[in-house]
Structure 1
Amino acid sequence: MNFSSDTAAPAHPAVLEALARVNHGPAPSYGDDRVMKQLRSLLVRTFETDELDFWITASGTASNALALSCFCPPTHSVICHAQAHIQVDERGAVEFFTGGGRLHLLPGKGAKVDYGQLADYLEAFDPRFVHETPPAVLSLTNLTECGMAYQPDEIAMRAERAKHFGLAVHLDGARLANALVFTGASPAEMSWKAGVDVLTLGLTKTGAVGCEIILFFGKAKEKGRELRARAKRAGHMPPKMRYLAAQAQALLDGGLWLALAAHANEKAQKLAAAFIADGHRLAWPVEGNEVFVHIDEHTLEKLREDGAAFYEWPTGSNRFVCSWATADAEIAALSESMTRSMRK
């Protein structure tokens, strides 16, 4: 009954098979290999554009921080939600990689940046006022830290405001596949067609060993050379890039990443139904593979005693995450554990 995180899940067998396939003979180092070139073609098809550049890291934190550092100088800021991963869970990595750039936090229901707050802030900001840090980037997260999905038009609306004031737009897509499955949008519709300049596409939570892709779109692809320099300097240019690229290839080719995300989303809906049937209240609608639920202390204690793994969330709820590997038996066991807790 491990619902702690989708990062706790094992790697999908297709990923391990792909690693084995590329594990033969020598190959050029630092991204100049055949698998990386094949991956570029696959990304072009997946995102329906040739106007892109990319790099891969094994860490979502590194991908976010490297991507944002290409757009945010030390004297500027990144606008994000107060609960965004780059604020709450990445230990100041953005500030570190930008050499001093700060985060400007905005509120919003369900961890979505409130459009009105964003528009008001940008309208009121005076770039001539030397005492205030000017914004350089808007960073959105899909799924949000409350497990909610931005629709493409919601991203586009916020991106339009940001670009009107000269900001770049970053999308943290650690769980993008889950958002795509829920909304029915295509990768292109959720990214560059909605005004996103740089996407950090997470595949680790979808079944990879460790694979996070930084994607630049349109004119932003000119940042590719700078990104590689920053990646090298920061120690995120592994020599054997084919092993990272092979993971992405296995998941993206044929749409496996979306199928695995669909499975995780489906199990989250079943899990949410089990909580509701037991009388518990959801903190947020389930729009991906995460369930946020209010549970009484007695039931929490019994769940822990029975070996359930989950997180107490800072907002007063408890987070349960389903993955590509979540089985109905785990949900049934959790439901049975809750039933036993009522017997006291």
Structure 2
Amino acid sequence: MNFGSDNQAGVSPRILHTLVEAASGIQSAYGNDEWSQRAEHMLGEAFGTPVKVFFVTTGTAANCLALSTIAQPWNAVVCHHMAHIAVDENSAPALFTGGASLLPMATDNGKISADDLAAFVARTPHDAPHNMVISGLSISQVTENGLVYQPQEIAALAAQAHALGLRVHMDGARLANAIAALQCHPGDITWRAGVDVLSLGASKNGALMAEAVVFFDPALAQNFSLRIKRSGQLVSKSRSIGAQFCAWLEDGHWMDLARHANAMASKLSAALVATPGVRLSWPTQANEVFVLMPITLYEQLRAQGVRCSDWYASSVPAGTVVEAGEVVVRFVTSWSSTDEEIAALMALVHSEQRKAA
């Protein structure tokens, strides 16, 4: 019963088959192979606009290299206080940007609004050269609390950011899940809404190890190949990543995988909140389920081999009280999650509750 993270799931058979196919023969290196070039073209078709794409091996590299194009060492990037780049990337953002800082901001609803951004920037000291100069905004889609930004929310936020002279980066580690949840065109929540550069992850949605930095503004991509090389992310056999993206995108496979993961999360969420003593922390909008449950139940589930994660008590919505004896728990479903896994988990939950009665 693995609900620990979608990056723990295996590889889609279709993607694995294509990877094996790409492994034979001779191809040019360093992104000049046919697979990588085809993948860049397919990404442009998927988003409905010409894009410049660079493939890397990890989400950390994708995020932090993207940030390096919108932030100089004396700059700062605004993000949500629970953003992955602020909580789970160690000091990589500072390393890749040469010293730029993150300015995390807390909000009541788990997302950043245009008004939130304007107010935050207005109250941040900006007496150059003594203070950092804010140059960018980074948002996560899906957010770290499992929420999905609506197209109009991103458009308003990006418009405000641009009016303030900021570039907009999107951490799209679970972008496919957001697109599937919104049933929208990929362009509607990225470049059409004002996103300048996107970190696009396939690893959490069926790929083996495949991340991309997608530039909607080609000017930001200037000298990016040098950044890739300098960071140790210039992959010689780049076809191994390009081929995965080709298989991921072909015939809408990425959407099929994401829709399945989202559907599994919806089923799991409904089953958990129907259980006495368990309540939702955040609405289930994509493939993550955040609940508050008795810590004893969480410990029993973990002891029985269930993979899930206790989460930050500070991550709950404003006004939500984590009671004594409660813990915030995150369950994540993936492309390979099954009804049988959910049924087995719930049978275990009910069994433990009967024991405690």
Percent identity of paired positions between Structure 1 and Structure 2: 40
State how 1:180-219 maps to structure 2 within 5 Å.
Answer: 180-217=179-216
Partner of 1:250: 247
2:139 partner SS: strand
Once the two structures are superposed, residues 39-82 of structure 1 have per-residue CA deviations (whole angstroms, 9 ceiling, x without a partner) of 122111101012x2010111000000001101100000010001
| Consecutive unaligned residues in structure 2, runs of 5 or more | 314-326
Q: 1:339 aligns with which of 327, 347, 350?
A: 350
Question: In 1, are the aligned partners of 2:105 and 2:120 still within 8 Å (CA)?
Answer: no
Q: Does 1:222 align with 2:219?
A: yes
Aligned CA distance change for structure 1 residues 109 and 121 (closer, same or farther; 3 Å)? closer
SS in 1 for 2:54: strand
Tell me how large the CA RMSD over aligned residues is. Answer: 1.3
What is residue 61 of structure 1 aligned with on the other side?
A: 60
2:316 counterpart residue number: none
**TM-score, with normalisation over the residues of structure 1?**
0.96
- What residue identity is the alignment partner of 1:12? S
Which amino acid counterpart does residue 238 of structure 1 have in structure 2? Answer: V
User: Do the aligned partners of residues 131 and 225 (structure 1) sit closer, same or farther apart at CA in structure 2, a change above 3 Å counting?
Assistant: closer
Partner of 2:286: 288
Q: Which of 269, 289, 298 is the equivalent residue of 1:300?
A: 298
**Structure 1 residues without counterparts, runs of 5 or longer:** none
Query: Which amino acid in 2 is paired with 1:329?
Result: E
Tell me how many residue pairs correspond in the alignment: 341
Structure 1 letter corresponding to 2:349: M
User: Distance between the aligned counterparts of 1:343 and 1:161, measured in 2?
Assistant: 53
TM-score (norm 2): 0.93
| Bigger shift: residues 330-339 or 109-118 | 109-118
Residue number among 221, 235, 240 corresponding to 1:238 in the alignment: 235
Query: Given the alignment of the two structures, is residue 323 of structure 1 paired with residue 321 of structure 2, yes or no?
Result: no
Q: Note if contact 1:107-1:114 (Cα within 8 Å) is conserved in structure 2.
A: no
Aligned twin of 2:321: none
Q: Kindly report which structure 2 residues correspond to 1:249-268, keeping only aligned pairs within 5 A, or say none.
A: 249-268=246-265
Equivalence for 1:32: 32
Aligned pairs for 1:104-253 (under 5 A) are 104-124=103-123, 127-217=126-216, 220-253=217-250
Alpha-carbon separation, structure 2, partners of 1:126 and 1:308: 47
**TM-aligned CA deviation for residue 224 of structure 1:** 2.4
Residue 18 of structure 1: SS of its match in structure 2?
helix
Deviation at 1:301, TM superposition (A): 2.5
Counterpart CA distance in 1 for 2:298 and 2:106 is 29
TM-superposed CA distance for 1:125, in Å, is: 5.2
